[in-house]
Amino acid sequence: MSERLHGGRVLIYSHDTFGLGHLRRCRAIAHSLVERYKGLSVLILSGSPIIGSYDFRARVDFVRIPGVIKLHNGRYTSLGLHIDLEQTLAIRASIIHHTAEIFQPDLFIVDKEPLGLRGEVVKTLEMLRDRGAVTVLGLRDVMDEPTLLRREWQRKRALPALQDLYDEIWVFGLQQLGTPLAGLNVPRSVRKKTIYTGYLRREMPSHRVPPSRKMEDPFLLVTAGGGGDGGVMIDWVMRAYEKDPGLPLSALLVLGPFMPPSQQQSFQDRAAKLARVVTLEFDSRIELLMEQSVGVVAMGGYNTFCEILSLNKRAVLVPRSTPRQEQLIRARRAQKLGLVHMLDMNGNLDWQTMARALRRLPEQNLPGDALTAGTLDGLHLIGDRVESWMLQRQRTSITALSSNPVLSKH
C-alpha cells in the first residue's frame, strides 16, 4: 500500500499566532502519515516561535514563517520583527506561496483558518487547485459558540471558501462531542464533503527519552498548555496546596512557554515554599509526563484532551471561556459523557473547591470506561483519506497522459 504513495507530498499550513495547539496537531498528523507511508514527505508551514523545540521524524520538515500575536483587544501585531503588521503579513503570504509553488504538494491541509491569517493562503489555495492538488480544511471538534463563530467567519468572508476552495473538510473529533459547522449557513454540498475523523490518538515515542523532570512520588500533572492564559488555573491549584498541606499527591505544574516571565517567576517562588509542588516551564514531550502521572489537571485544549483520552488518564478540566468558548463547550460535553470532571473558572475559585477536586481525582472513573468505538481513530482515517485522494490524483494524471497523443508516444 505505501509503495503506491512513493514520492507523494503533503503540505500542512498552521497559522500558529499563539499557543501550542495548532502546531502539535499538525505534527501528530505529519508523523502518522510518514509512519504509515514510507515514500511520503510532509512539510509544515508554521508561525510558531518554538517549532524548533520539537523533534520531527524523517521525511517531516518545517518552514518557519514570521510570527504574529493576537493582542487582548483582538488586533494582531508582529511577534519578533519591529515592522508594520501588513509588511509581516506580506512576507508570510509570499513565503507560503513560493514554498507551495516549489514543493508542489499533492495534498494541501489548512488547519482551522479557511483563508489563513488575514487571507494569506487564498492565492496559494487557488494556485494549487489550478495545478490539480487536493485541498483540505481541518477543523477542531469545537471552534466556538456557533453565533460567535458565524459572526467571525462572516466578517472574514470565510464561508464561501468552504465551498469554493476545498475538496474536503475534516473535523478532528466526533459529532456527539462537537459540530463546528452547526449554526452556520452552509450549503448541503459543504456538509456532504465534511468528514468526522474521530480524535487524534497520541502514541508514546518509540525511542523513550527521559522527560526533563523526574518525579519520585506519585504525582498529578497540572498543565497550562502554552501558558499565555493559564495563570488563573495555576494559581487556583497553587492556593489549594498552600491552604491544604495534607493533599495526598505531589503536583508537577507545567507553566507553558508563553506564560509571562513575571508570572512564571511568581509561581516558581511560591512553589519553592511548598514541599510537594514542583514547577517546570516547558517540555516538548509532555505526553511522557502525563503517562507517568496519576491524573491530570488542565484547561481543556484540543491536544491535551486527545492525550487524556489516548493515555486513559483521569482528569479535571478547568476551561477558559474567553476569548473563545471552545474549551468550555468541550469540557461540558466531555463531563456529560463521563470522560472528565469539570470545574467552572467563572464560578467560585475558592481553594476548597479545587482541593476537593484534587482529592477526588484518583477515584474518578477512567475515560476509557466511557469511550465508544472509533473515538480515537482520527489518524487512521486521515491516512485512508490521504491515500484515496492521492491514488485518485495519480489515476487522473495517467489518464491525461495517455489521452495526449504527443506525450503518450514518449
pLDDT in tens, 68-98: 877 665 677 888 888 888 999 999 999 999 9
pTM of the model: 0.91
Q: Does the pLDDT at position 237 exceed 80? A: yes
Q: Give pLDDT tens digits for 241-275.
A: 999 999 999 999 999 998 999 999 999 999 999 99
Interatomic CA distance for residues 48 and 270, integer angstroms: 30
Q: In the prediction, which pLDDT does 329 show?
A: 94
Which pLDDT band holds residue 1 (cuts at 50, 70, 90)? very low
Q: Give pLDDT tens digits for 286-340.
A: 899 999 999 999 999 999 999 999 999 999 999 998 888 999 999 999 999 999 9
Q: In the prediction, which pLDDT does 239 show?
A: 98
Which pLDDT band holds residue 402 (cuts at 50, 70, 90)? low
More confident residue, 383 or 347: 383
CATH class given for the domain over 2-201+377-408: alpha beta
Q: In the prediction, which pLDDT does 404 show?
A: 63
Q: In the prediction, which pLDDT does 216 show?
A: 79
CATH of 219-369 given 3.40.50.2000, 3.40.50.720, 1.10.10.10, 3.30.420.80: 3.40.50.2000
3-state secondary structure the chain: CHHHHCCCEEEEEECCCCCCHHHHHHHHHHHHHHHHCCCCEEEEEECCCCHHHCCCCCCEEEEECCCEEECCCCCEEECCCCCCHHHHHHHHHHHHHHHHHHHCCCEEEEECCCCCHHHCCHHHHHHHHHCCCEEEEEEECCCCCHHHHHHHHHHHCCHHHHHHCCCEEEEECCCCCCCCCCCCCCCHHHHHCEEECCCECCCCCCCCCCCCCCCCCCEEEEECCCCCCCHHHHHHHHHHHHHCCCCCCEEEEECCCCCCHHHHHHHHHHHCCCCCEEEECCCCCHHHHHHHCCEEEECCCHHHHHHHHHHCCCEEECCCCCCCCHHHHHHHHHHHCCCCEECCCCCCCCHHHHHHHHHHHHHCCCHHHCCCCCCCEHHHHHHHHHHHHHHHHHHHHHHHHHHCHHHHCC
Q: Give pLDDT tens digits for 2-57.
A: 556 889 999 999 987 666 778 899 999 999 999 999 999 999 999 888 888 889 99
Which pLDDT band holds residue 401 (cuts at 50, 70, 90)? low
More confident residue, 203 or 76: 203
CATH 3.40.50.2000 boundaries in the chain? 2-201+377-408, 219-369
